[in-house]
Amino acid sequence: MAGEQGWDDERVTTVGLLFESSAGLRRILEPLLLTDSGLANQSFDVLVRLARTPGFRLRMSELAAQTTLTPSGLTRSVDRLEHAGMVTREACPEDRRGAFAVLSPKGQAVMAEAIPLHVAHIDELLNGVLTREEEETLSSLLRKIRDHIRGLGTSTSCDESDADEPVASGIS
Amino acid sequence: MAGEQGWDDERVTTVGLLFESSAGLRRILEPLLLTDSGLANQSFDVLVRLARTPGFRLRMSELAAQTTLTPSGLTRSVDRLEHAGMVTREACPEDRRGAFAVLSPKGQAVMAEAIPLHVAHIDELLNGVLTREEEETLSSLLRKIRDHIRGLGTSTSCDESDADEPVASGIS
DNA sequence: ACCATCTAGTTGCGAGCGCAACATTATCTC
DNA sequence: GAGATAATGTTGCGCTCGCAACTAGATGGT
């Protein structure tokens, strides 16, 4: 019961690699994103969801479910973005306790510039690492995992929003 | 320039899935780990590195490189663990500015109990999602990515510690 | 209509992290 | 050796996050 590892389970190793890869990519991409768009990775993630949505508007709860944020965290995030003029809040007519987060024209402009740069960075970063076929394999395996763990989180969500395009902000 | 997505790059999607899977797994595993060992995911990660090292001791800088923590973050983390009696600090005789973090007997006992539980949770969580062959494929692809981005982080590290066993704490 | 229950979103609070600045020690150059 | 430079850890500060408690509005049963 010491420095040995009797617990070299294959699955544990896989999960460890997953965490390491994810953290490593984030660590590289985050500073790049910040310097060429002024956005912190988390803000970018929120804005991407809005930018991808027709009408640029999403309910707060929807946005929280799509990002890896709790409702609380999303509230603060939208607060900051609103303060920065990128997002506005609008009341929901059908449900008066609800609110929409709406990407402002300024936010749209910023994202129109930031997204291509970010995509280019990702592209460059992963160039030559995996073959095209390997990339597809990886995507499909990850998708299986992602789908499997959806809904196990808080368990009561069950939201089935399933954008199978996994929104793939590429930063969070 | 609106709700469309002209940037559906395959690689971006893959990276997005990677982040989502990682975050999702963490969200599920973290509370489990906390309830059955009282350890926060981050502390566990640090302790695992020590538990896997012969002699249960590692230099602070080494530990920082292995975890996804900055030196600053590691200092605080070890502070907490020391306060909890799981780790002690020891001076390094050869380099008087350096310090070792050493897993205390209490820490060893806690980990001896916590690790198997954690491994079991991971095992259970991923059961039936991927075939054995798919798991191996996934591991190998992730390993390629991990290896490729090593050393691109702060760029000056170049530490080549390369435990090819990726330490795989399974909680990060 | 009335009350219990549930949901959407917000806030007080405490905790953790990273960056930049710092003290201390090692190393390199002359 | 003496001084410049680099590396190891640690701390002040500000930021972000999640949890739990809360307000306000919806929903369901009677």
Beta bridge pairs of residue B47: none
Q: What is the pLDDT of residues A143-157, one digit of tens each?
A: 999 888 875 654 433
Q: Per residue in A67-106, is it b (16+ CB within 10 Å) or e — as a string? A: bbbeeeebeebbeebbeeebbbeeeeeeeeeebbbbbbee
What does the DSSP 8-state code read for residue B1? -
| Cβ of residue B112 closer than 8 Å to a chain A Cβ | yes
Site from B1, B8, B10, B21 to mutate, A interface, most A CB atoms within 10 angstroms: B21
| Cβ of residue A70 closer than 8 Å to a chain B Cβ | no
Q: What is the pLDDT of residues B120-161, one digit of tens each?
A: 999 888 888 899 899 999 999 999 998 888 756 544 333 344
| Contact (CB<8Å) A166/B51 | no
Q: What is the pLDDT of residues A112-134, one digit of tens each?
A: 999 999 999 998 888 888 999 99
State the amino acid at position B32 in one-letter form. Answer: L
Q: What is the pLDDT of residues B158-171, one digit of tens each?
A: 334 444 455 545 54
- Following DSSP, what letter does each residue of B102-122 receive, concatenated? EE-HHHHHHHHHHHHHHHHHH
State the amino acid at position A77 in one-letter form. Answer: S
Q: Which B residues in the span 141-170 are in contact with A, Cβ-Cβ below 8 Å?
A: 141-146, 148-150, 152-153, 165-170
CA A151, CA A146: separation in Å to the nearest integer? 10
pTM confidence score = 0.85
Work out the minimum CA distance from A29 to partner chain B, whole angstroms: 9
Decide: helix, strand or coil at residue A79.
helix
Q: What is the pLDDT of residues A162-171, one digit of tens each?
A: 444 555 455 4
| Contact (CB<8Å) B123/A1 | no
CA dihedral B82, B32, A156, A88 (to 10 degrees): 30
Q: What is the pLDDT of residues B36-89, one digit of tens each?
A: 889 998 999 999 999 999 999 999 999 999 998 999 999 999 999 999 999 999
